[in-house]
Structure 1
């Protein structure tokens, strides 16, 4: 879809839209989950709860 809502809410600016797809820079992602929360088509899914102490990164 590439609507860009996720880009607008990403605090560290870790997301960019390329070819209508959200591309997440895993090195910048803070695992806040804002992107998944605002996606109207559930294109981004992140296992919850999110925290650095909860185990491996959702991108691993």
Structure 2
């Protein structure tokens, strides 16, 4: 009986942690040019673009990668 309770508790904890991690992953903002521009302006660049699901920051000549 103790083993069954332990097994149920383990499954419950595992499920809770997995759901929390999955929900946290969903909160990542979508990679859009507007979002990238907002991030890049904070770093002192002029604008940003989303390329291959990552933000690239631009000045007139400088490029800097920034993860979204």
Q: What TM-score does the superposition give when structure 2 sets the normalisation length?
A: 0.26
Q: What TM-score does the superposition give when structure 1 sets the normalisation length?
A: 0.27
Structure number with greater Rg is: 2
Structure with the bigger percentage of strand: 2
